[in-house]
Structure 1
Amino acid sequence: MVEFSRENQVITACAVVALTGWYVVTESTNSDLAAAAVLFGVGILAPLAINGYLDRE
């Protein structure tokens, strides 16, 4: 079995949440901007913030 580093685990978890959020937003609204915001915020900004916080500890 492949073992991921902590950083890769955070990125993978955020990617799964981002894709789920993107699906929910696209099914519930017609806003491409909201879907893009979910992908960018949860898929890119959240893992950066979480990994940065955990690196400082």
Structure 2
Amino acid sequence: MALLQTETKIVLGCMFLGLTSWYLARQVTQNSLVSFATLLGIGVILPTLINEWRRRSAS
């Protein structure tokens, strides 16, 4: 039995990448919309798409 499921690893990795990207976007631009889109896109939408694609490929 694995300690963490693959889906959980994907979500945690994307959360880390999303927060890192958000921080870097805040340093590069002062536009809060860009920072928010980066956080939402990489931290929430990307892992959802990856996990859905993996589920459909497995069936």
* TM-score when normalising by structure 2: 0.89
Corresponding residue of 1:17: 17
Count of aligned residue pairs for this structure pair? 56
Q: Which amino acid aligns with 1:47?
A: P
- Secondary structure of 1:4's counterpart equals coil
Structure 2 stretches lacking a partner, 5+ long: none
Q: 5 Å matches for 1:43-54?
A: 43-54=43-54
Structure 1 residue 6: Cα displacement:
0.8
- TM-superposed CA distance for 1:10, in Å, is 0.5
CA deviations over 1:5-43 (Å, ceiling 9, x no partner): 111000000001001100110001101000000111011
Once the two structures are aligned, what percentage of the paired residues are identical?
29
For 2:18 and 2:27, the matched residues in 1 are separated by 14
Name the TM-score, length of structure 1 as normaliser: 0.92
What runs of 5+ residues in structure 1 fail to find an aligned partner?
Answer: none
Q: CA RMSD in A?
A: 1.2
Amino acid at match of 1:36: F
Runs of 4+ in 1 over 2 A off after TM superposition: none
Larger radius of gyration: 2
